[in-house]
A and B are shown apart, each in its own frame.
Chain A
Amino acid sequence: MLRCREVVDLLASDGWRDAPPARRLSLGLHLMMCRHCRAYRRGLRRLGDAARRLYRIGAADPRQVERLLGAVRRAAERPDGG
């Protein structure tokens, strides 16, 4: 039987993704029975959702973008790329 502390390890490190089937099964069973670990997992998911929203709000500065694409275009049009 997995301990809560081990569940936290598996979830936060993404270790569950390459855990053997028996360990994944026992993780699933633990989560069914333990509301604190479910809350922990839900917290991680919400953290990811919030980070996605946060990082996607910050728009790029259009002037910098044009400068940068200009440099790429000039390099791409040179046959040797250099």
Chain B
Amino acid sequence: MTAPREPRQRIDAIRRRDPAALEAVARESLGPLLRGARAAGLTGADAYDAVQDALLVFVEKADRFDGRASVRTWLFGILFNKIAERRRAVAREEAVDDIEAVVDARFDARGQWIRPPRSPDAELAAGQAMAMLEECLDRLPERRRAAFVLREVEQLDVGEVCNVLAVSRNNLGVLLFRARNALRECLESKGIGGSADVAL
């Protein structure tokens, strides 16, 4: 799903920096931006500060908004830029990672399952399971969590996430592969997941 494009009228109002339009954008983007900041590893007041910085940049540069991306995608881009600036160094995704070996160990030499997945069933919705998912998410490296949250929670499309995180399509694939498999393995290690029999 792509974030909705903006109607012409709204783009114009943003570009002339109409205060009411800018405030409306800020108000409706707060929730998604805070989630994004938290996914990038910021907590408490730091998350609010990063969101405020991003919104102030938005207000300052609103006249340059061209409406090609949705305003929300644009804001995510500003936010993740700000966060990267704060950290200075943008860590490169490493060529190999433990999670690759963990996934590989589930397959034989011919690429067939030796240890098939356990399918997380309805119990994943229960309170205790949600707490476990939160723990597993906290353990993910920031860029992987950011990629996962932008795709799954904010439901940006693949190209938008690449823009926001400034990564190539291949690199995003690696981030998502690692995030999703690490979360699956983490939940399974905590006993979340029905038996393989649940599978159709």
Whether, in the assembled complex, B69 has its beta carbon less than 8 Å from a beta carbon of chain A, the answer is: no
B168-200 interface code vs A (CB 8 A; 1 in, 0 out) = 010011101100110110010000010010111
Asked, given contacts A12-B176, A13-B173, A54-B134, whether A72 binds B117 with beta carbons under 8 Å apart, the answer is no
A14 nearest CB across to chain B (Å): 6
CA distance A50 to B184 in the complex (A): 12
Are B116 and A82 in contact, with the CB atoms below 8 A? no
Question: Contact at B110–A55, with CB atoms within 8 Å?
Answer: no
B71 beta carbon closer than 8 Å to chain A: no
Closest chain B residue to A50, Cβ basis:
B124
CB of A47 within 8 A of CB of B113, answer no
Chain A interface size, under 10 / 10 to 19 / 20 to 34 / 35 or more: 35 or more
- Residues on the B chain within 8 Å of A17, using CB: 158
Answer whether A50 and B177 are a contact pair too, CB < 8 Å, given A3-B110, A4-B112: no
* Assembly CA distance A5 to B110 (angstroms): 9
A68 & B30 in contact (Cβ 8 Å cutoff): yes
- Residues on B lying within 8 angstroms of A by beta carbon are 17, 19, 22-23, 26-27, 30-31, 34-35, 38-39, 45, 48, 51-52, 55-56, 59-62, 103-104, 107, 110-113, 116-121, 124-125, 129-130, 133-134, 137, 148-149, 151-153, 158, 169, 172-174, 176-177, 180-181, 183-184, 187, 193, 196, 198-200
Residues of A within 8 A of B (CB): 3-6, 8-9, 12-15, 17-18, 35-40, 42-44, 46-58, 60-61, 64-65, 67-69, 71-73, 75-77, 81-82
